[in-house]
């Protein structure tokens, strides 16, 4: 069928066809194995669609008679050599370049089953160009120019759509998120955004509610992945916390989440040293069997699976790494002012964690274990002010810097449409799955 169609085409039409196939490759359009010479898998649907496009959308092409196009998916066990062979590439120079050149190696090292590779070759198998999807949003292209090669990367054109949802928590944050079909990455972002104010392990109550405005990324109408949270509101134990994303491309430092009034949500300390995730969410609130209350042992215990990452709750310098009797493996971090934090019972320490090393908030200092006096894997966490332990769940933490005046005006201008959406969402009487699709950028 394919040969039949091709034989009916004039040389000019064939060139047009090739051109629109190039366009199709560049736009990420799906087509497979198609060439001027015969091929085993005719794709007549793709061909006729391309022809229609070609009639309205043609630029003249140079007269060089090149161009066999093929697309293959990476199969389990494929190597660069096997996949190039299937693509009809018979070109040792190209093979050496893709395998060995630092720019091109990203392709050879990231062959993942199911991902598409597209090649254009001359009729004798000499590579013209090769394109591979490194990720759902990034592609890499290797092109031959005479005897040399070049590598370029391109971001896929994605369309951002804004979604809004709200939910009430009955059992757990992830349970509520599942009920409204909220992607996990959005749920964890919500937990991260409010992690300076809310300890998602211990503070979440039945009846807590949240609303979230977030981006979903689409490519040619297909969902690629969930994007960034643009605004969120969390009502915890009757108290409302709100956040709006502020993006300032000229000043990355200022970009972040702020309250609608411009107060920074990033605090000097996180409420919990453990990252909140689907895996660890089921462990919330469980008390350690040996120490039942905070008073008995000057700290807070977090039951969590062995190996869970433990984060420094604030910027600081490592003051102690090693064993300390019943505490097992311990890290102590000294922070600005009179603050220090202690993390105990670790199975191991984070990379580069040694006395005197600087750590940033959120950086892993170690992993949950049960070394020392512990009957199960858990983290024992202490928060000290002037070397005296205080309850980290209730202590008033030092406030972070607000947005300065010159950013504040910009922030207020950008935040208005999002605040409007949030207000709209708030008017919805019933909590539950509320979805509104709109672009308001």
Residue 327: CB minimum distance to Zn ion, A: 8
Asked if 368 touches Zn ion (CB under 5 A), the answer is no
Distance CA 434, CA 425 (A): 8
Which of the ranges 66-74, 141-149, 378-386, 423-431 carries the binding residues for Zn ion, by CB under 5 A? 378-386
Residue 326: CB minimum distance to Zn ion, A: 9
Asked if 303 touches Zn ion (CB under 5 A), the answer is no
Among 118, 311, 380, 421, binds Zn ion (CB under 5 A): 380
Residue with smaller CB distance to Zn ion, 309 or 380: 380
Binding mask 312-331 for Zn ion (x = CB under 5 A): --------------------
Asked if 302 touches Zn ion (CB under 5 A), the answer is no
Residue 111: CB minimum distance to Zn ion, A: 46
Tokens 């869970």 found at: 308
Residue with smaller CB distance to Zn ion, 165 or 291: 291
Torsion of CA 21, 24, 25, 29, to 10 degrees: -130
Residue 283: CB minimum distance to Zn ion, A: 14
Distance CA 432, CA 430 (A): 6
Distance CA 368, CA 305 (A): 7
Number of residues that bind Zn ion (CB under 5 A): 5
Residue 218: CB minimum distance to Zn ion, A: 47
Residue 396: CB minimum distance to Zn ion, A: 23
Residue with smaller CB distance to Zn ion, 193 or 300: 300
Binding mask 245-284 for Zn ion (x = CB under 5 A): ----------------------------------------
Residue number closest to Zn ion, CB atom:
380
Residue 297: CB minimum distance to Zn ion, A: 5
Asked if 72 touches Zn ion (CB under 5 A), the answer is no
Among 120, 301, 363, 382, binds Zn ion (CB under 5 A): 301
Residue with smaller CB distance to Zn ion, 297 or 335: 297
Read off the tokens for 295: 């008073």
Residue with smaller CB distance to Zn ion, 70 or 288: 288
Distance CA 372, CA 131 (A): 53
Distance CA 234, CA 240 (A): 6
Residue with smaller CB distance to Zn ion, 390 or 434: 390
Residue 319: CB minimum distance to Zn ion, A: 19
Residue 380: CB minimum distance to Zn ion, A: 3
Asked if 421 touches Zn ion (CB under 5 A), the answer is no
Which of the ranges 109-117, 131-139, 294-302, 314-322 carries the binding residues for Zn ion, by CB under 5 A? 294-302
Residue 320: CB minimum distance to Zn ion, A: 17
Which of the ranges 23-31, 193-201, 243-251, 375-383 carries the binding residues for Zn ion, by CB under 5 A? 375-383
Among 271, 291, 311, 407, binds Zn ion (CB under 5 A): 291
Residue with smaller CB distance to Zn ion, 118 or 380: 380
Residue with smaller CB distance to Zn ion, 290 or 400: 290
3-class SS letters over the chain: CHHHHHHHCCHHHHHHHHHHHHHHHHCCCCCCCEECCCCCCCCHHHHHHHHHHHHHCCCCCCCCCCCEEEEEECCCCCCHHHHHHHCCCCCHHHHHHHHHCCCCHHHHHCCCCCCEEEEEECCCCCEEEEEEEEECCEEEEEEEECCEEEEEEEECCCEEEEEEEEEECCCCHHHHHHHCCCCHHHHHHHHHHCCCCCCCCCCCCCCCEEEEEEEEEEECCEEEEEEEEEEEEEEECCEEEEEEEECCCCCHHHCEEECCCCCECCCCCCCCCECCCCCCHHHCCCCCCCCCCHHHHCCEEEECCCCCEEECCCCEEEEEEEECHHHCEEEEEECCCCEEEEEEEECEECCCCCCCCEECCCCEEEECECCCCCCCCEEEEEEEECCEEECCCCCCCCCCCCCCHHHHHHHHHHHHHHHHHHHHHHHCCCCCCCCCCECCC
Residue 371: CB minimum distance to Zn ion, A: 12
Q: Which residues bind Zn ion (CB under 5 A)?
A: 288, 291, 297, 301, 380
């Amino acid at each position: 069928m394919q040969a039949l169609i091709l034989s009916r085409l004039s040389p000019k039409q064939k060139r047009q066809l090739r051109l629109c196939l190039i366009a199709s490759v560049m736009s990420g359009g799906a087509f497979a194995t198609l060439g001027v010479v015969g091929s085993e898998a005719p794709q007549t649907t793709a061909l006729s669609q391309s022809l229609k496009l070609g009639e309205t959308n043609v630029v003249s092409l140079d007269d060089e008679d090149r161009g066999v196009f093929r697309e293959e998916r990476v199969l389990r066990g494929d190597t660069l050599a096997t996949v190039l062979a299937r693509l009809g590439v018979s070109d040792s120079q190209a093979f050496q370049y893709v395998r060995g050149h630092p720019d091109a190696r990203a392709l050879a090292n990231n062959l993942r089953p199911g991902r598409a590779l597209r090649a254009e070759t001359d009729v004798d198998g000499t590579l013209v160009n090769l394109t591979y999807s490194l990720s759902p949003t990034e592609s890499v292209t290797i092109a031959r120019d005479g005897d040399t090669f070049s590598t370029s990367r391109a971001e896929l054109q994605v369309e951002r759509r804004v979604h809004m949802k709200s939910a009430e928590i009955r059992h757990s944050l992830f349970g509520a998120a599942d009920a409204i079909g909220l992607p996990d990455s959005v749920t964890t972002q919500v937990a991260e955004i409010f992690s300076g104010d809310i300890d998602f392990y211990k503070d979440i109550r039945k009846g807590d509610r949240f609303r979230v405005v977030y981006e979903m990324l689409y490519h040619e109408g297909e969902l690629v992945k969930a994007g960034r949270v643009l605004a969120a509101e969390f009502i915890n134990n009757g108290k409302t916390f709100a956040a709006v994303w502020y993006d300032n491309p000229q000043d990355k430092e200022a970009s972040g989440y702020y309250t609608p009034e411009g107060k920074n949500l990033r605090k000097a300390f996180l409420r919990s040293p453990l990252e909140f995730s689907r895996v660890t969410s089921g462990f919330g609130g469980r008390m350690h069997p040996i120490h039942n209350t905070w008073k008995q042992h000057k700290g807070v215990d977090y039951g969590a699976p062995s190996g869970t990452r433990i984060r420094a709750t604030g910027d600081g310098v490592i003051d102690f790494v090693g064993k300390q009797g019943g505490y097992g493996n311990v890290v102590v971090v000294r922070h600005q002012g009179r603050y220090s934090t202690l993390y105990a019972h670790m199975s191991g320490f984070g990379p580069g964690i040694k006395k005197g090393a600087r750590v940033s908030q959120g950086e892993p200092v170690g992993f949950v274990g049960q070394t020392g006096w512990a009957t199960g894997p858990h983290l024992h966490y202490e928060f000290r002010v002037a070397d005296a332990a205080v309850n980290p769940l209730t202590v008033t933490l030092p406030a972070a810097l607000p947005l300065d005046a010159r950013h504040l005006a910009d922030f207020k201008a950008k935040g208005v449409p999002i605040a409007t959406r949030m207000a709209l969402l708030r008017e919805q009487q019933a909590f539950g799955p509320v979805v509104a699709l709109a672009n308001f950028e």
